Structure 1
Amino acid sequence: MKLRTAALPCLLLGLATVAACGKKQEAGTSAAAPAAEAPAAAAPAASDPAQEEAARQAADKKAAIERALQEQSIVEDAKGQWAVSATASSTYSYEKAPDATLEYTAMKATGKPDVESYGDSGSAWTSEKADAGIEWLELGFATPVNATGLRIRQSYYPGAIIKIELIDEAGSKHAVWEGSDDTAYPPSTTSWFVRSFEKTDYKAKGARITLATNAVPGWNEIDAVQLVGE
């Protein structure tokens, strides 16, 4: 009897332990609460055509102002001089004499810019044929200078220039740039092809511009050329 009485508390203790363990397991294995669903992404706002058009017009206006300021700074540059003589590989004009001054002749590339807007103009030099291949325009300047740059105003279908050479007082030519003009010119806009370089150790009195007219379809016209230096 004494043995049974002692075993009873142990039996009760074991039952309590099993019950406690069972509760712990239930708590540990109970299903987790479902996660809250992420809110649906908001639909993009519909574009406003009127606002887009206004933004486009504002960007075009800004670009036009920048071009006008660039042209003004070039025209007023005290270190720049405009060509006073010119010859070319060919001309669209029916008058072919080197000093001819009729429409499209090489002499139309001398002096300050005078083509008012983008487009075909007899006030610019144009080669005899469009897209024929290699053509050149050679220009002379009144004062030989140690040159630092050349600026070319393209008034119709820009981008065909592939080489620029300066001509020294002895008549020798020095290439200062050669390659493909990858400039992204704005459509239907007169554009400047500008190249700057280290000051030459010789006096430049002229420049030759070579074009690949077949690289840019259409008549590649040049209105004016400015040599920069001192």
Structure 2
Amino acid sequence: MSLNWKWACALSLALVASGCGKKEEAPATAEPAQTATDTAASNAPAPAATAPAPAQSAATDEKAAAIQAALAEEAIASDSRGQWAVSATASSTYAGNKEPDAKEGYAPLSATGAPNVERYGDNGNSWATETPDKGIEWLEVGFAKPVNATQIRIRQNYSPGAIIKVELIAEDGSKHTIWQGVDDQQYAPSTIVWFDRAFEKTSYKAKGARITLATNAVSGWNEIDAVQLLGD
């Protein structure tokens, strides 16, 4: 065999061997890189839950409070155990006519009978002292039927909180203190309120009550619309 033929055979074998070798694997496809927008979106906080609406609006709350106040007033007015004052005198009065039986605005008699002041505020249908903030003043009321008393209610329609003593007047004219002190009740602003005190049934028949105020303790005229005595 000639030398040239040997080289040709060797070259052919080399070419066949290279064709039979393992084919190189294509590189794995790379995941696309996240854009800035994608990153921001993935890191963004979850949307906050929508806050529930209030159960009641302020207007509804005010309406509910007004309804409760009306029901409370109705319960007092219709209480079969109670009676309203029928006569009254006072230490002073803002009324121009100072006579005990005067029936003009702010006179002591304005504190007799059932409540007739509809809204909180200065009102001639209630009793008021001659001047505000003077100091010690009193209102004395009488009732048609003497009773063994158990409770008294005093309706304050303007600047409440000045009452410092309540006495009951027995049939013989003697006075008996059933409450004395500082009125520490938390009254809602601009609201007609009741000074309401219950006590053990009196052994005597009460025919009246004297209400003492320290008018300098609560500024302005401390007006009283009505007084109710309960008992049997």
Q: Same fold (TM over 0.5)?
A: yes
Q: How do residues 59-70 of structure 1 correspond to structure 2 at under 5 angstroms? A: 59-70=61-72
Residue 46 of structure 1: CA displacement?
10
Match of 1:57 in 2: 59
For residues 103 and 88 of structure 2, the distance between their equivalents in structure 1, rounded to whole angstroms, comes to 10
The residue type paired with residue 128 of structure 1 is E
Match of 2:231 in 1: 229
Residue 185 of structure 1: CA displacement?
1.0
Match of 1:128 in 2: 130
The residue type paired with residue 142 of structure 1 is A
Residue 67 of structure 1: CA displacement?
1.4
Q: 1:79 aligns with which of 81, 89, 96?
A: 81
Q: Deviations over 1:29-77 (max 9, x none)?
A: xxxxxxxxxxxxxxx99989x849x543333322222211111111001
For the pair 1:90 / 2:92, whether they are aligned, the reply is: yes
For residues 70 and 171 of structure 1, the distance between their equivalents in structure 2, rounded to whole angstroms, comes to 33
Change (3 A) 1:180 1:47: farther
For residues 170 and 118 of structure 1, the distance between their equivalents in structure 2, rounded to whole angstroms, comes to 37
Residue 182 of structure 1: CA displacement?
1.1
Match of 1:191 in 2: 193
The residue type paired with residue 205 of structure 1 is K
The residue type paired with residue 207 of structure 2 is K
Q: 2:105 aligns with which of 98, 103, 106?
A: 103
Q: SS of the counterpart of 1:112?
A: coil
Q: How do residues 90-169 of structure 1 correspond to structure 2 at under 5 angstroms? A: 90-169=92-171
TM-score (norm 1): 0.76
Cα RMSD (Å) of the superposition? 2.0
The residue type paired with residue 73 of structure 1 is A
Same amino acid, percent of matched pairs: 63
Report the count of equivalent residues: 186
For residues 46 and 106 of structure 1, the distance between their equivalents in structure 2, rounded to whole angstroms, comes to 59
For residues 45 and 197 of structure 1, the distance between their equivalents in structure 2, rounded to whole angstroms, comes to 55
Unaligned ranges ≥5, structure 2: 1-47
TM-score (norm 2): 0.76
For residues 222 and 55 of structure 1, the distance between their equivalents in structure 2, rounded to whole angstroms, comes to 34
The residue type paired with residue 213 of structure 2 is L
Q: Deviations over 1:71-109 (max 9, x none)?
A: 111100111000000000000011111111111000000
For residues 185 and 211 of structure 1, the distance between their equivalents in structure 2, rounded to whole angstroms, comes to 17
Q: More deviation in 56-65 or 115-124?
A: 56-65
The residue type paired with residue 110 of structure 2 is K
Q: SS of the counterpart of 1:108?
A: helix
For residues 184 and 49 of structure 2, the distance between their equivalents in structure 1, rounded to whole angstroms, comes to 37
